[in-house]
Amino acid sequence: MQTNKPFTYKIPENLQGQLERGMRVVVPFGKGNRLIQGFIINFKSSSENIDNIKEIDSVLDLEPVLNEEMLEIADWLSKYTFSFKIRCLQVMLPSIMKAKYERKFTYIGEQDEKVKELFSGKSDLLGSDKKVNSSTINKLLQLRKQGKIKVDYIVKNKAKAKLVSVIKTKLSLQEYENELGSIAPNASKQKKLLNTLKEFPVGSKIRQSELREKYNFTNADIKNASEKGWIDVIKVEKYRDPFANYKSYYEKKHKLTQEQSKVVKKLDDDIENDKARVSLLQGVTGSGKTEVYLQVIDTALNQGKAAIVLVPEISLTPQMVKRFRARFGTKVAVLHSGLSIGEKYDEWRRIEREEAQVVVGARSAIFAPLKNLGVIIVDEEHESSYKQDEMPRYNAKDVAKWRGIYHSCPVIFGSATPSLESRARAQKGVYDWLRLTKRVNNQKLPKVQIIDMREAVKTSPIPDFSLKMVNSIQEKLDKKEQIVLLLNRRGYSTFMMCRECGYVIKCPNCDISLTVHLDSRSLKCHYCGYETRIPYECPSCSSKKIRYYGTGTQKIEKELKGLFPQARILRMDVDTTRKKGAHEKLLRTFGDGKADILLGTQMIAKGLDFPNVTFVGVLNADTSLGISDFRASERTFQLLTQVSGRAGRADKDGEVIIQTFNPDHYAIKLAQNHDYENFFYKEMELRHNLNYPPYYYTLKITVSSNSESLTARTIFKINNEVRMNVSKGTIILGPTPQTVTKINNRYYYQIVIKYKKETKLINYLQDLLLSSQRIEREGIQIVIDREPLKFN
């Protein structure tokens, strides 16, 4: 059970004077005195009798891992997002610092034969031992009940810095010359070594591996030199550099366009005057927003301040990182999920020790422990990936604003298609509104054509491709220009259906149809991972007429190969990018011109900046309009605008074709004209009429369990309590089952609360969070989500 409050422990004699707020300690907890990891959040001295208070077992850190700011963030975050405080403390640290626990079984009674066998004659047994499986565990737990063995929990701290050997030169040039004079004339290897060493100033550090590889010295040579007193061999902390293969090059600042200079000047002023203002930088695709970020960061660095740049995980490509490395070199630290936990820890250490001042990363990089922030930038601020899907359900943009105030520094939200919330705040003057209306070098935005698929199917060679699309692709292929094709997969996938009886094959655990995977000839559930072979006949009526419907990237790839046998095609989707580094490799191949067509899902829409791409095709614009979410139009508009922005970024003109069954939908028509402003006004009107954000705040409560009636009973009970605790004007939707009601054999029901101002409700929800602990033991889960970004 998560106990959402601090506990008091005694400081043992041997730790007195050594502990500080923000350090991790190991403490005995609960009736069994299980050892667990805790954080020191405060001290108090007491004259009262403290005999009954437990003692801290041991300390895990020599220095605090959470500073005062982090402790304050955790306080605020736990209240704001209805989360347990321990989760908020943990989310700010590299995952390697979450202690691992291991059970240790020790035999305490007399040995009998059965036990001897279990323990293989030893006196204790670790939970991680190969011999320990679930049946052994049961036997062990039985023995514990009989008082024959005891169980301890050992806390393992995996956060260890990696060390490497380096040599340190000890003598001056003159002293090395003297040594050269005193060695045997035929000791040529030693002579060579001394001649090498004398080139370095006293105290220089050289990696042993460098001495071996570059100068051909052996370990024996080095050992010998150390024994002679020429050098010291020491161990230093080694950082695992994930981008080591990307040799950095230096890049000069661009001379800013007029629009850019105006924006940069305003932001520089904010930095210099310690203004905690939020600015919305609304700039069309290719307008040079990144160049603005780079120059603004430069200003912060010149003032001795640090910077955080958040980018969506998927845009955090080597191409992107390179631009920051090229400007700021080793001052840049990169944090993203592609790193191993060891690599993440190393980057975190570099930030902590103030060796890196510019942090570029995905969502959780917002917690980077930089001490003197000068600016915080959130690129593609409309992206829903800034919101975490699990507790703590925080939005990195809220944390950015919090830290902006704490450090008195500006926060920049950048996007070509801002979220309605941000754009509305800019309208009201809550944020400063900065704009870049033109592409760099006055390059035109690409011309966008819309194809009405209801008509086009009549002449199209195959249903997925209109004739116009086929002709345009061929034209670009002939000109040796590159092509990006988007298959909009949101709320859409390929499924199996029987043409005889209409039966659709669904996941046995979830209320959703299974997705066809042609490469493995299987059907998979994208919610729970269930997998089965593609059947040859209908499981319901045994008809052989069972076919797949809908369009997947694999099917399109096959069709493309048929239409353009000469073209080199790359496919980018969840399947081809699962392996670490695969995403980057595909992009590099395309960037190097080793492919003609890049076919992909949503993940190709963002951030790509390839000068030879002159054509973008959207195969199915509509699918994201169909999802049951009030943001469906906004998401569709954003996607189409972003993907169109990939075309014609250099000196060649770009062209875009969008295929749709809804050619008159405003989200599609306005995307055709890159008309964000009119989209904003139109969408605001709808949101106003339907009482949605940004006119109302939203909050979602979800209940799940593996019994549908228990789930329903619980959500109705909560619903009644909520209704008693809201103010007039607050609107409650539901309770309703979620669109996908059953996932992995659990049933999900929800209510959505739309409100303008609430205090009583917030208090009630804090209580609900605490009571959710109790019923969690009955298998019921309650999730409270403030400002959810998913509503289905």
Candidates 172-180, 534-542, 649-657, 693-701: pick the segment binding Zn ion (CB under 5 A). Answer: 534-542
Residue 286 engages ligand ADP in binding (rule: CB under 6 A) = yes
Residue 288 engages ligand ADP in binding (rule: CB under 6 A) = yes
Residue 283 engages ligand ADP in binding (rule: CB under 6 A) = yes
Of ligand ADP, Zn ion, none, which one does residue 287 interact with (CB within 5 to 8 Å by kind)? Answer: ligand ADP
Residues 22-41 that bind ligand ADP (CB under 6 A): none
Residue 526 engages Zn ion in binding (rule: CB under 5 A) = no
CB of 309 or CB of 782, closer to ligand ADP: 309
Q: What angle do CA 667, 668, 669 make, to 5 degrees?
A: 100
DSSP 627-670: SSSTTHHHHHHHHHHHHHTTS--SSSPPEEEEEES-TT-HHHHH
Residue 750 engages ligand ADP in binding (rule: CB under 6 A) = no
d(CA 287, CA 71): 39
Candidates 222-230, 310-318, 402-410, 494-502: pick the segment binding Zn ion (CB under 5 A). Answer: 494-502
Amino acid symbol at 367? F
Residues 252-281 that bind ligand ADP (CB under 6 A): 254-257, 260
d(CA 645, CA 613): 10
Residue 287 engages ligand ADP in binding (rule: CB under 6 A) = yes
**Which residues make beta-bridge pairs with 305?**
none
Of ligand ADP, Zn ion, none, which one does residue 254 interact with (CB within 5 to 8 Å by kind)? Answer: ligand ADP
Residues 81-120 that bind ligand ADP (CB under 6 A): none
88 is in an annotated binding site: no
Residues 539-578 that bind Zn ion (CB under 5 A): 540-541, 543
Residues 516-575 that bind ligand ADP (CB under 6 A): none
The one among 129, 221, 298, 609 contacting ligand ADP by CB under 6 A: 609
CB of 285 or CB of 422, closer to ligand ADP: 285
Of Zn ion, ligand ADP, none, which one does residue 286 interact with (CB within 5 to 8 Å by kind)? Answer: ligand ADP
- If one counts every other C-beta atom within 10 angstroms of the C-beta of residue 766, the result is 14
Q: 633 is written with which tokens? A: 């139009």
Residue 290 engages ligand ADP in binding (rule: CB under 6 A) = yes
The one among 26, 400, 498, 608 contacting Zn ion by CB under 5 A: 498
3-state SS class at 613: strand
Q: 28 is written with which tokens? A: 């005995």
Task: Give CA separation, 349 vs 39, 59, 95, 499, 591, in Å.
Answer: 19, 19, 13, 59, 33
Residue 644 engages ligand ADP in binding (rule: CB under 6 A) = no
Candidates 113-121, 145-153, 464-472, 496-504: pick the segment binding Zn ion (CB under 5 A). Answer: 496-504
DSSP 385-449: GGB-SSSS--BHHHHHHHHHHHHT--EEEEESS--HHHHHHHHHTSSEEEEE-S-GGGPPPPEEE
Task: Look up residue 56 and give its DSSP letter.
Answer: P
> Among all chains, which residue has been given the structure tokens 């150390």?
226
d(CA 554, CA 600): 10
Q: Which of 237, 246, 418 is nearest to 321 (CA)?
A: 246
Residue 384 has φ and ψ, to the nearest 5°, of: -80, -10
Task: Look up residue 325 and give its DSSP letter.
Answer: H
Q: How far apart are the first and last CA of the chain?
A: 29
Q: List Cβ<8 Å contacts ≥24 apart for 724-733.
A: 725/760, 725/761, 725/763, 725/764, 726/753, 726/755, 726/758, 726/760, 726/761, 727/755, 727/757, 727/758, 727/760, 727/761, 729/755, 729/756, 730/754, 730/755, 730/756, 730/758, 730/761, 731/691, 731/696, 731/755
Residue 154 engages ligand ADP in binding (rule: CB under 6 A) = no
525 is in an annotated binding site: yes
Binding mask 208-247 for ligand ADP (x = CB under 6 A): ----------------------------------------
528 is in an annotated binding site: yes
Min dist CB 441 to ligand ADP, Å, is 6
The one among 267, 507, 570, 647 contacting Zn ion by CB under 5 A: 507
d(CA 403, CA 411): 9
Min dist CB 383 to ligand ADP, Å, is 14
Task: Look up residue 201 and give its DSSP letter.
Answer: P
Residue 514 engages Zn ion in binding (rule: CB under 5 A) = no
510 is in an annotated binding site: yes
Of Zn ion, ligand ADP, none, which one does residue 541 interact with (CB within 5 to 8 Å by kind)? Answer: Zn ion
538 is in an annotated binding site: yes
Candidates 7-15, 250-258, 388-396, 743-751: pick the segment binding ligand ADP (CB under 6 A). Answer: 250-258
Min dist CB 709 to Zn ion, Å, is 21
Q: 178 is written with which tokens? A: 């003297």
Min dist CB 603 to ligand ADP, Å, is 17
Min dist CB 440 to ligand ADP, Å, is 4
Q: Tally the residues of the chain.
A: 792
The one among 60, 183, 440, 726 contacting ligand ADP by CB under 6 A: 440
Q: What angle do CA 763, 788, 84 make, to 5 degrees?
A: 45
Amino acid symbol at 579? K
Is the Cα dihedral 489, 495, 497, 499 positive or negative?
positive
CB of 289 or CB of 325, closer to ligand ADP: 289
Binding-site residue positions: 498, 501, 507, 510, 525, 528, 538, 541
Binding-site residue positions for Zn(2+): 498, 501, 507, 510, 525, 528, 538, 541
Query: Which residues here bind ligand ADP, judged by CB under 6 A?
Result: 254-257, 260, 283, 285-291, 440, 609
Query: Which residues here bind Zn ion, judged by CB under 5 A?
Result: 498, 500-501, 503, 507, 509-510, 525, 527-528, 530, 538, 540-541, 543
